[in-house]
Amino acid sequence: TSSSFTGRTITGLEPGNSYTITVTASNGAGSGPVSNTVTAMTEEAAPSGAPGPITQYSHTKHANTVQWGECLVP
């Protein structure tokens, strides 16, 4: 038998994690061979808040140097 099914969405993945995925087809006659392994990484999550304390170190006509700390959780 044949199928035109070519994809599936995987839900519940966590941001910034690596996942290893393999696929196999199955029907009433049993399971087929396992696919090659694919490793994928999800994108990192957006920051949870604004940057922490900001300190200005120098200011000139052409540059401004600043440093900031950890994100502040609202």
Q: What is the pLDDT of residues 13-71, one digit of tens each?
A: 999 999 999 999 888 899 999 999 999 999 998 878 877 788 877 888 888 888 887 76
Residues whose CB falls within 8 Å of the CB of residue 26, separated by 6 or more in sequence, listed in order: 32
Total residue count of the chain as it appears in this document? 74
The per-residue b/e assignment along 39-49, b for 16 or more CB within 10 angstroms, e otherwise, is eeeeeeeeeee
**Model pTM above 0.75:** no
